[in-house]
Amino acid sequence: MNLSIDLPKTLEERLIAYCNVQGISQSEAIKRALNSLLNDNSPTAYDLGAGGFGADQTHSGDIARNSKHLLREHFRAENPR
């Protein structure tokens, strides 16, 4: 399959430099990039962020729902009367 695309000048320059360093054709570089992009084993956005979901283990429940209570608790601990 032949495909024609218009690349911005800066992207074209980067592609040329990459191919020169790697010693491959532009077609080969683009094929590799597309294979990498379309590979079913690549992580999803959810996979990439999973480590941060629910990262706050200091309180039980929904922090957004309990934010006023949690803020009061925090500031009372810092400034006891």
* pLDDT in the model for residue 68: 83
Task: Tell me what the mean pLDDT of segment 1-7 comes to.
Answer: 90
* pLDDT in the model for residue 59: 55
Note the pLDDT tens digit of each residue in 11-63.
Answer: 999 999 999 999 999 999 999 999 888 887 777 888 888 777 765 666 556 66
pTM: 0.48
Please spell the DSSP secondary structure of 3-39, one letter per residue: ------HHHHHHHHHHHHHHT--HHHHHHHHHHHHH-
Longest dimension (CA), the chain: 76
| Residue bearing tokens 């379309």 | 38
Name the DSSP class of 54.
T
Mean of pLDDT over the chain = 83
